[in-house]
């Protein structure tokens, strides 16, 4: 696609964008001057669909009118409410319905997955993560190492990017696995790195790990709803993600879990269980011996928070309607346009650290600004641009295909130019 500078190009792209009407289905936070902000923080907290309110109201109404009977006689009976999310969620992450469930929150699910899939032995107990993993993931794996009696420094292997480089290289991962594969119990990588926006080749990493006898899992918090994950086809053992970033389901909302079909009927796999992992048919007899549900559902513990699930349903119904393929087509155009305009600034002080290949990134661009400090981020915010600042010198911006426009991208770069020139 050829891009052009100038506002008229952005206006034309918006006019021809088959998804442009979705923007009006979201609440866009306002700038202090009353105009819409340029919201580029969907990678951190996605915006609220206007439909969310009515989805939650429906459940409040059923609760008010039916009380406990809502479990069975509600408009969307609560006992099976999570099942209403499964098909859309499976589509979004490229999985089979039996491989997917929505439950708990992200870091909790990472621990539950490690209960089952981190199976250290005397000689094979190490965990490999990327050096720049999201802090919660690092803390979680370190605590698992300690929980099993290992030293969390000695037991943790880090996939570093090279000195002077931002992106991690596969050759380096291959070297670590070649040299240490026999000691590694678990490879746990962020599917899309939260800092650089680098989208890893899940298939390649899984194959590499499996060839050396390691279990492979991914944290797809920055991937779900953003890139084509193809989790089933990747062959990964498990994956987890949250629904409040690209999946627009509200602060602290529940997490999605993928467990590969090959583990669906393995009831020897160690796991923590509760009444929601028990056979649905006999769950309420309350007397039976434990009878495990097959698939990802067999990792559920509790009856879930329906109000949060209603918000997830509102969002996933919209994703189902818009279609992941259409969203990705727009996303690539939108982010490509963003990259083009930033490069057109020809400003040596800014550098995009996110990969330039569309297949190796989602919508986020991480922009490194030489000699910048948080002041720059403050100025952007004052100019009505909601972005995200990561120490020491990176602004993360995510133009989200569901609600951001080409004009948003144009305006952002115009304002950035003014701010950079004034510095």
CA distance 309 to 55: 9
Sketch the per residue contact string, 134 through 173, with ligand PLP: x for CB under 6 A, - otherwise: x-xx------------------------------------
- Minimal distance, residue 198 CB to ligand PLP, in Å: 13
Rule CB under 6 A: choose which of 105, 230, 303, 381 binds ligand PLP.
Answer: 105
Looking at the Cβ atoms of 45 and 412, the one nearer to ligand PLP is 45
- Minimal distance, residue 43 CB to ligand PLP, in Å: 8
Looking at the Cβ atoms of 249 and 405, the one nearer to ligand PLP is 249
Looking at the Cβ atoms of 103 and 221, the one nearer to ligand PLP is 221
Choose the binding region for ligand PLP from 203-211, 217-225, 288-296, 307-315 (rule: CB under 6 A).
Answer: 217-225
- List C-alpha distances in Å: 209 to 112, 170, 176, 184: 20, 12, 11, 9
Rule CB under 6 A: choose which of 59, 130, 132, 219 binds ligand PLP.
Answer: 219
Looking at the Cβ atoms of 253 and 277, the one nearer to ligand PLP is 253
398 near ligand PLP, judged by CB under 6 A: no
Q: Give the number of other CB atoms < 10 A from CB of residue 201.
A: 14
106 near ligand PLP, judged by CB under 6 A: yes
Phi-psi region of 289 (alpha: psi -120 to 50; beta: other; left: phi over 0): beta
39 near ligand PLP, judged by CB under 6 A: no
Q: Give the number of other CB atoms < 10 A from CB of residue 115.
A: 15
CA angle 352/40/110 to nearest 5° reads 85
Handedness of CA 37, 38, 44, 48 (dihedral sign): positive
**Residues in CB range of 13: below 8 A, 6 or more apart:** 333, 337, 406
Looking at the Cβ atoms of 106 and 363, the one nearer to ligand PLP is 106
Please check whether residue 367 is in contact with residue 352, taking contact to mean a CB–CB distance below 8 angstroms: yes
Beta bridge partners of 186: 127, 215
Q: Identify which of 208, 141, 200, 219 has the alpha carbon closest to the alpha carbon of residue 180.
A: 208
- Minimal distance, residue 211 CB to ligand PLP, in Å: 25
Contacting positions for ligand PLP (CB under 6 A): 105-107, 134, 136-137, 190, 194, 219, 221-222, 242
């Amino acid at each position: 696609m050829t891009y052009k500078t100038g506002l008229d190009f952005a206006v034309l792209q918006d006019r021809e964008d088959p998804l442009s009407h979705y923007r009006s289905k979201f609440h866009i936070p306002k700038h202090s001057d009353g105009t819409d902000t340029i919201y580029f923080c969907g990678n951190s907290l996605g915006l609220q669909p206007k439909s969310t309110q009515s989805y939650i109201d429906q459940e409040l109404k059923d609760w008010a009118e039916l009380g406990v009977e809502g479990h069975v006689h509600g408009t969307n009976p609560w006992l099976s409410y999570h099942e209403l999310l499964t098909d859309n969620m499976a589509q979004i992450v490229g999985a089979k319905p039996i491989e997917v469930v929505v439950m708990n929150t992200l870091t909790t699910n990472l621990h539950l997955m490690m209960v089952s899939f981190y199976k250290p032995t005397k000689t094979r107990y190490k965990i490999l993560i990327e050096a720049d993993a999201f802090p919660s993931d690092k803390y979680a794996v370190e605590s698992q190492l300690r929980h099993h009696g290992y030293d969390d420094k000695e037991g943790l292997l880090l996939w570093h990017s090279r000195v002077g480089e931002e992106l991690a290289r596969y050759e380096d991962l291959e070297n670590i696995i070649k040299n240490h594969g026999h000691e590694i119990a678990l490879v746990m990588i962020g599917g899309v790195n939260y800092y650089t926006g680098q989208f890893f080749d899940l298939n390649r990493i899984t194959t590499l790990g499996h060839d050396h006898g390691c279990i492979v899992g991914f944290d797809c918090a920055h991937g779900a709803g953003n890139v084509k994950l193809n989790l089933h086809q990747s062959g990964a053992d498990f994956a987890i993600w949250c629904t409040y970033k690209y999946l627009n389901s509200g602060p602290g909302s529940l997490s999605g879990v993928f467990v590969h079909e090959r583990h669906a009927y393995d009831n020897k796999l160690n796991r923590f269980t509760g009444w929601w992992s028990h056979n649905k048919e006999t769950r309420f007899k309350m007397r039976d011996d434990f009878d495990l549900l097959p698939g990802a559902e067999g990792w559920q513990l509790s009856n879930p928070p329906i109000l949060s699930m209603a918000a997830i349903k509102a969002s996933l119904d919209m994703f189902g309607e818009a279609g992941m393929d259409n969203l990705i087509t727009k996303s690539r155009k939108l982010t490509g346009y963003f990259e083009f305009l930033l490069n057109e600034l020809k400003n040596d002080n800014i550098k995009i650290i996110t990969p330039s290949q569309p297949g190796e990134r989602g919508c986020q661009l991480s922009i490194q600004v030489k000699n910048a400090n948080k002041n720059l981020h403050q100025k952007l915010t004052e100019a009505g641009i909601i972005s995200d600042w990561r120490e020491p010198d990176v602004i993360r911006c995510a133009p989200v295909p569901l609600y951001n426009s080409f004009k948003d991208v144009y305006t952002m770069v115009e304002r950035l130019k003014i701010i950079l020139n004034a510095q």
